């Protein structure tokens, strides 16, 4: 059974409320302990601000825990703002306590400290606890809902609009150029349904709209642009739109049309991904008789379906797909990387890892400091509002803006966490020796991507099989001899070659010089090829 010390803190403010606050905190803490089977060792009362841990009762408590004689393994608070208001201080303190075998937990917002995102979740609690625990929390919520129901946009104006104020102090949002014009054009282009939403985005950005891709997709779904305010489900139990008092950017008809197009396109893209395994090489091969690219289809035999790769009408060339696929598999089974390329892959892999780790680390640190800045800003705004230095509308504006920013940061950090999880660092060079094992377990998309790396841009289907058909880098890396080394292949994206790769070239050069062998001519293509394969293996 865990043993806890309950910590109750009241701020040195309203005298009358103090007694009430203490009792209410104690009630909740005791209930938590009963419900979760936690033994109570002691209860500590503090009457001090949470600006730092330099509080008399806290210092005594901490010295007591340092003796490790209590058997206490948990400090329990009602909410995070009872613990501290500074994220940095909190984290330092949490680490110190952890070293003493003591965990910190709250009744209102339990945080699982074993996950990467916990720090950011905690940051949000810090930011939000101010509003939640404050006397005016309910008033704030009610105020926002009431304003929305009156058709007013609350908070920072969305892209294309700006916050304004009438001469008698009424706040409203008004169209802002040139963003409004550009966004309107974006809605119109998406509705035409000629280009993909992504293409429309690129075009509008090139014309000067400053907006992230994900935000752009979100904006297209926001009914604010056709003059409506959305009341969310969490506010009233059901979601609905009401007419806003602001000037619409586009008509409701255009807005609905855009929603339709977005939905339709989403359905389409998810459908297109289905490729059939029986025709896995479809799209890679061209006809040995006329040179056109081969397509594929199934035809019904007496007892089962047969799949064929065949040419277009007018040319009668066709081959049984299962036979060609089998040739491909037989070829893949014998692939084994040659020195020095197997060693080179180790280097490439190391580089990819370092680069992505560094990038992740830097981004994470940046997000963390942003979260902290916005939390501070929120707490500040609250203080200013209570003191009467800013008015209610400004307070709401700052608060909703900060919350949105924090939420975005947290989402981005969560994405980073996913990314770094998908880079398990197995021995890629080992896999290069047993490529077929990797291939056969891979998804059909990864299989096709792999095939696209080993075949030239245009691959004529040859009787001699894949030994004859593969591109030059594959031939060299896996040491495949050909009786007929003639497949046009000089491109392979050498244009994307980067300066960073110079050291790979040096490595290869040293190797061949040492062995007194002639170095292959298109080493750059080989490095690019290996890099693509390495990335695929890491991802796949
Ligand atoms: Zn043909």
Strand runs (DSSP E) across 210-369, as ranges?
Answer: 228-231, 240-243, 285-286, 295-300, 305-310, 318-320
Spatial separation of the C-alpha atoms in residues 120 and 90, rounded to whole Å: 12
* Structural domain contains residue 465: yes
pLDDT at 534: 80
In percent, how much of the chain has pLDDT > 70?
Answer: 79
Same domain, 87 and 163: no
Residue 179 and residue 160 in contact, taking contact as beta carbons nearer than 8 Å: yes
Residue 371 and residue 123 in contact, taking contact as beta carbons nearer than 8 Å: yes
What residue numbers bound the domain in which 498 lies?
428-539
Task: Indicate the pLDDT class of residue 269, thresholds 50, 70 and 90.
Answer: low
Q: How far is the CA of 470 from the centre of ligand 1 (A)?
A: 20
Same domain, 84 and 163: no
Task: Indicate the pLDDT class of residue 156, thresholds 50, 70 and 90.
Answer: confident
Q: Which residue has the higher pLDDT, 498 or 342?
A: 342
pLDDT at 384: 77
> 357-404 pLDDT, tens per residue?
777 777 777 877 888 788 778 777 777 777 767 777 777 778 788 888
Q: How far is the CA of 284 from the centre of ligand 1 (A)?
A: 14
> 501-522 pLDDT, tens per residue?
666 777 777 777 887 777 777 7
Q: How far is the CA of 152 from the centre of ligand 1 (A)?
A: 65
Task: Indicate the pLDDT class of residue 181, thresholds 50, 70 and 90.
Answer: very high
Q: Residues 464-469: what's their mean pLDDT?
A: 88
Query: Which two three-digit tokens encode residue 145?
Result: 């809902």
Asked whether residue 498 carries a pLDDT value surpassing 70, the answer given is no
Same domain, 73 and 176: no
Q: Residues 252-262: what's their mean pLDDT?
A: 90
Asked whether residue 125 carries a pLDDT value surpassing 80, the answer given is no
230 backbone dihedrals φ, ψ, rounded to 5°: -90, 125
Same domain, 71 and 168: no
> 5-20 pLDDT, tens per residue?
999 987 655 444 556 6
pLDDT at 185: 94
Radius of gyration of the chain (CA): 32
Q: How far is the CA of 81 from the centre of ligand 1 (A)?
A: 74
Q: How far is the CA of 281 from the centre of ligand 1 (A)?
A: 16
In percent, how much of the chain has pLDDT > 90?
Answer: 20
Q: How far is the CA of 290 from the centre of ligand 1 (A)?
A: 4
Q: How far is the CA of 69 from the centre of ligand 1 (A)?
A: 86
Q: Which residue has the higher pLDDT, 507 or 428?
A: 507
Q: How far is the CA of 287 from the centre of ligand 1 (A)?
A: 5
* Structural domain contains residue 416: no
Q: How far is the CA of 286 from the centre of ligand 1 (A)?
A: 8
Q: Which residue has the higher pLDDT, 463 or 503?
A: 463
* Structural domain contains residue 333: no
pLDDT at 406: 81
Q: How far is the CA of 476 from the centre of ligand 1 (A)?
A: 30
Q: Residues 94-99: what's their mean pLDDT?
A: 85
pLDDT at 32: 92
Q: How far is the CA of 293 from the centre of ligand 1 (A)?
A: 8
pLDDT at 46: 86
**Range of lowest pLDDT (38-52, 356-370, 406-420, 509-523):** 406-420
Residue at a domain's end among 272, 303, 324: 272
Q: How far is the CA of 314 from the centre of ligand 1 (A)?
A: 8
pLDDT at 193: 84
Q: Residues 424-451: what's their mean pLDDT?
A: 77
For residue 297, give Cα distances in angstroms to 234, 324, 329, 459, 485: 50, 14, 20, 19, 30
Same domain, 91 and 181: no
Q: How far is the CA of 339 from the centre of ligand 1 (A)?
A: 39
Residue 472 and residue 452 in contact, taking contact as beta carbons nearer than 8 Å: no
Q: How far is the CA of 320 from the centre of ligand 1 (A)?
A: 15
Q: Residues 221-246: what's their mean pLDDT?
A: 85
Residue 412 and residue 367 in contact, taking contact as beta carbons nearer than 8 Å: yes
Q: How far is the CA of 318 from the centre of ligand 1 (A)?
A: 8
Q: How far is the CA of 458 from the centre of ligand 1 (A)?
A: 14
The protein residues having their C-beta less than 5 angstroms from ligand 1 (an ion) are 287, 289-290, 311, 315, 317
Asked whether residue 263 carries a pLDDT value surpassing 90, the answer given is no
Asked whether residue 160 carries a pLDDT value surpassing 90, the answer given is yes
Same domain, 433 and 507: yes
Q: How far is the CA of 480 from the centre of ligand 1 (A)?
A: 28
Same domain, 198 and 106: no
Residue 76 and residue 5 in contact, taking contact as beta carbons nearer than 8 Å: yes
Q: How far is the CA of 273 from the centre of ligand 1 (A)?
A: 27
Q: How far is the CA of 332 from the centre of ligand 1 (A)?
A: 26
Q: How far is the CA of 333 from the centre of ligand 1 (A)?
A: 29
Question: Which residues have CB under 8 Å from 377's CB, separation 6+?
Answer: 398, 402
> 186-219 pLDDT, tens per residue?
999 999 888 888 889 989 999 988 888 888 988 9
For residue 38, give Cα distances in angstroms to 62, 166, 201: 20, 57, 55
Residue at a domain's end among 86, 110, 134: 110
CATH of the domain at 216: 3.90.1750.20
Same domain, 530 and 436: yes
Q: How many domains does the chain have?
A: 3
> 288-345 pLDDT, tens per residue?
999 888 888 888 777 788 899 999 888 889 999 999 999 999 999 988 887 777 777 7
Long-range CB contacts for residues 92-98, cutoff 8 Å, separation at least 24: 93/53, 97/65
Residue at a domain's end among 246, 272, 298: 272
Q: How far is the CA of 327 from the centre of ligand 1 (A)?
A: 20
Q: How far is the CA of 454 from the centre of ligand 1 (A)?
A: 23
Query: Which two three-digit tokens encode residue 410?
Result: 């947290």
* Structural domain contains residue 328: no
Q: Residues 396-418: what's their mean pLDDT?
A: 75
pLDDT at 254: 92
Q: How far is the CA of 464 from the centre of ligand 1 (A)?
A: 18
Q: How far is the CA of 469 from the centre of ligand 1 (A)?
A: 17
Average pLDDT value for the chain? 79
Same domain, 258 and 173: yes
* Structural domain contains residue 391: no
Best-predicted range by mean pLDDT (176-185, 262-271, 295-304):
176-185
Query: Which two three-digit tokens encode residue 13?
Result: 């403010």
CATH of the domain at 26: 3.40.50.1390
Q: How far is the CA of 283 from the centre of ligand 1 (A)?
A: 14
Q: How far is the CA of 313 from the centre of ligand 1 (A)?
A: 8
Same domain, 259 and 160: yes
Spatial separation of the C-alpha atoms in residues 411 and 419, rounded to whole Å: 13
Q: How far is the CA of 183 from the centre of ligand 1 (A)?
A: 48
* Structural domain contains residue 462: yes
Q: How far is the CA of 219 from the centre of ligand 1 (A)?
A: 48
Q: How far is the CA of 311 from the centre of ligand 1 (A)?
A: 5
Q: How far is the CA of 282 from the centre of ligand 1 (A)?
A: 14
Q: How far is the CA of 294 from the centre of ligand 1 (A)?
A: 7
Spatial separation of the C-alpha atoms in residues 321 and 303, rounded to whole Å: 17
Q: Which residue has the higher pLDDT, 472 or 270?
A: 472
Residue 123 and residue 406 in contact, taking contact as beta carbons nearer than 8 Å: yes
Asked whether residue 499 carries a pLDDT value surpassing 70, the answer given is no
Q: How far is the CA of 289 from the centre of ligand 1 (A)?
A: 5
Q: How far is the CA of 307 from the centre of ligand 1 (A)?
A: 17
Same domain, 162 and 265: yes
- Percent of residues in the chain assigned helix, strand, coil, to nearest 5: 55, 10, 30
Same domain, 442 and 518: yes
| Residue labelled with tokens 């997709």 | 217
**Range of lowest pLDDT (78-82, 91-95, 484-488):** 484-488
* Structural domain contains residue 344: no
pLDDT at 270: 53
* Structural domain contains residue 418: no
């Amino acid at each position: 059974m865990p043993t806890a010390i309950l910590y109750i803190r009241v701020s040195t403010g309203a005298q009358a409320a103090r007694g009430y606050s203490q009792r209410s905190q104690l009630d909740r803490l005791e209930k938590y302990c009963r419900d979760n089977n936690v033994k109570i060792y002691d209860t500590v009362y503090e009457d001090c601000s949470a600006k730092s841990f330099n509080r008399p009762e806290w210092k005594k408590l901490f010295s007591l825990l340092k003796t490790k004689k209590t058997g206490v393994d948990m400090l329990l608070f009602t909410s995070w703002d009872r613990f501290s208001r500074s994220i940095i201080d909190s984290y330092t303190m949490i680490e110190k306590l952890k070293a003493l075998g003591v965990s910190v937990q709250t009744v209102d917002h339990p945080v699982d400290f074993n996950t990467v995102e916990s720090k950011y979740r905690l940051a949000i609690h810090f930011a939000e606890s101010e509003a939640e625990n404050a006397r005016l929390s309910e008033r704030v919520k009610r105020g926002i809902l009431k304003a929305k129901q009156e058709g007013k946009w609350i908070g920072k104006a969305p892209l294309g609009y700006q916050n304004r104020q009438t001469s008698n102090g009424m706040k409203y949002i008004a169209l802002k150029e040139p963003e409004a014009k550009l966004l309107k054009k974006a809605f119109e282009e998406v509705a035409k349904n000629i280009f993909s939403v992504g293409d429309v985005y690129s075009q509008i950005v090139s014309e000067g709209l400053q907006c992230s891709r994900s935000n752009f997709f979100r904006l297209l779904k926001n009914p604010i642009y056709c003059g409506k305010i959305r009341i969310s489900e969490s506010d009233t139990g059901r979601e609905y739109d009401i007419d806003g008092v602001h000037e619409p950017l586009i008509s409701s008809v255009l807005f609905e049309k855009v929603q339709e197009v977005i939905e339709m396109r989403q359905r389409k893209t998810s459908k297109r991904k289905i490729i059939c395994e029986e025709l896995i090489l479809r799209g890679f091969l061209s006809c040995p008789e006329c040179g056109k690219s081969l397509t594929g289809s199934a035809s019904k035999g007496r007892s089962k379906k047969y799949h064929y790769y065949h040419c277009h009408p007018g040319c009668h060339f066709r081959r049984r797909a299962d036979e060609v696929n089998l040739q491909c598999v037989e070829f893949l089974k014998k692939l084994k990387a040659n020195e020095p390329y197997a060693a080179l892959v180790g280097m490439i892999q190391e580089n990819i890892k370092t680069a992505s780790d560094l990038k992740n680390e830097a981004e994470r640190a940046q997000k963390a400091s942003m979260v902290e800045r916005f939390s501070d800003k929120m707490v500040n705004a609250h203080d200013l509002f209570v003191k009467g230095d800013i008015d209610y509308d400004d307070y709401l504006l700052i608060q909703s803006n900060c919350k949105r920013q924090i939420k975005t940061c947290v989402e981005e950090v969560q994405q980073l966490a996913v990314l770094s999880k998908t880079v398990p660092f197995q021995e890629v060079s080992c896999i290069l020796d047993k490529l077929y094992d990797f291939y056969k377990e891979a998804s059909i998309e990864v299989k096709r991507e792999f095939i696209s790396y080993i075949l030239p841009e245009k691959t004529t289907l040859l009787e001699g099989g894949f030994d004859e058909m593969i591109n030059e880098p594959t031939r060299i890396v896996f040491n495949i001899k050909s009786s007929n080394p003639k497949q046009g292949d000089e491109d392979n994206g050498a244009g994307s070659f980067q300066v960073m790769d110079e050291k790979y070239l040096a490595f290869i050069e040293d190797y061949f010089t040492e062995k007194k062998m002639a170095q292959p001519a298109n080493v750059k293509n080989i490095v690019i090829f290996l890099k693509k394969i390495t990335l695929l293996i890491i991802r796949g």
